[in-house]
């Protein structure tokens, strides 16, 4: 069976991305990163999502690097997670420096090792928080780096980076997840990582907006938001 790597955070986008790879008939090899984020909830949810899909193997890597350099509200306790922020194109405090490049680099190495032909990553360039490593230009440039810097193309098995959510709105992502039967109830999006989502951080706001516009009830619980 053909294989694919899925960068799985346990969040909405990566889980829907996993559902797309599953719908294409790939044997799934998710890779999850514990990179010094403020909480471990997303890693725990990623484990549940991987179990839901009966994945052949779920690789979980601890990367202390991001914890050491800080510089992000997601990896430093000294920087507060912004709440009720007007979401625009400015790079927010929750941006983790060059994180997707690091994740993709490791995923490429994993793909080469097991002979996977695809790497799925749930980056999005429409309803997103202003992260530069979610832009299509970055993905295009990284794909070129993979083509030039990996041995896979010379062996006749090039590795393609798949970004099925890149140009979708958050509402379209929710609808796609519902269509594919993705376990949205197992996902977490909150930057604060509580038992209930805060409802007021950037990620919660984007998620809530997406479910509302999709006309779908969000299956997770929130602290500061009452669904109507």
Known binding-site residue numbers for Zn(2+):
190, 198, 201, 204
115: left (phi over 0), alpha (psi -120 to 50) or beta: left
Residue set of the binding site: 8-18, 190, 198, 201, 204
Is residue 127 within 8 A of residue 87, CB to CB? The reply is no
Residue set of the binding site for ATP: 8-18
Q: Which residue has the tokens 């790079």?
A: 91
Alpha-carbon distance of 70 to 18, in angstroms, equals 29
Q: Residues 6 or more apart from 228 whose CB is under 8 A from it? A: none
Is residue 154 within 8 A of residue 197, CB to CB? The reply is no
Start-to-end Cα distance in the chain? 44
């Amino acid at each position: 069976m053909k294989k694919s790597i899925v960068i799985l955070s346990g969040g909405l986008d990566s889980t829907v991305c996993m559902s797309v790879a599953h719908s294409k008939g790939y044997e799934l090899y998710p890779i999850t990163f514990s990179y010094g984020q403020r909480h471990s909830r997303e890693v725990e949810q990623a484990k549940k999502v991987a179990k839901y899909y009966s994945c052949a193997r779920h690789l979980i890597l601890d990367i202390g690097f991001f914890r050491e350099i800080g510089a992000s509200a997601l990896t430093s306790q000294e920087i507060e997670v912004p709440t009720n922020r007007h979401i625009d194109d400015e790079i927010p405090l929750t941006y983790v420096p060059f994180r997707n490049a690091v994740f993709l680099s490791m995923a490429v190495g994993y793909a080469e090792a097991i002979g996977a032909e695809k790497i799925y990553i749930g980056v999005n360039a429409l309803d997103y928080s202003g992260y530069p490593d979610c832009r299509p230009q970055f993905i295009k440039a990284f794909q070129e780096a993979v083509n030039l810097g990996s041995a896979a193309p010379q062996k006749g098995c090039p590795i393609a980076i798949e970004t099925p959510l890149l140009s979708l709105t958050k509402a379209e992502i929710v609808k796609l997840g519902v269509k594919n039967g993705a376990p949205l109830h197992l996902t977490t999006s909150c930057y604060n990582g509580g038992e209930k989502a805060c409802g007021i951080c950037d990620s919660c706001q984007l998620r809530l907006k997406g479910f509302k516009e999709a006309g779908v009830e969000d299956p997770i619980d929130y602290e500061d938001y009452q669904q109507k």
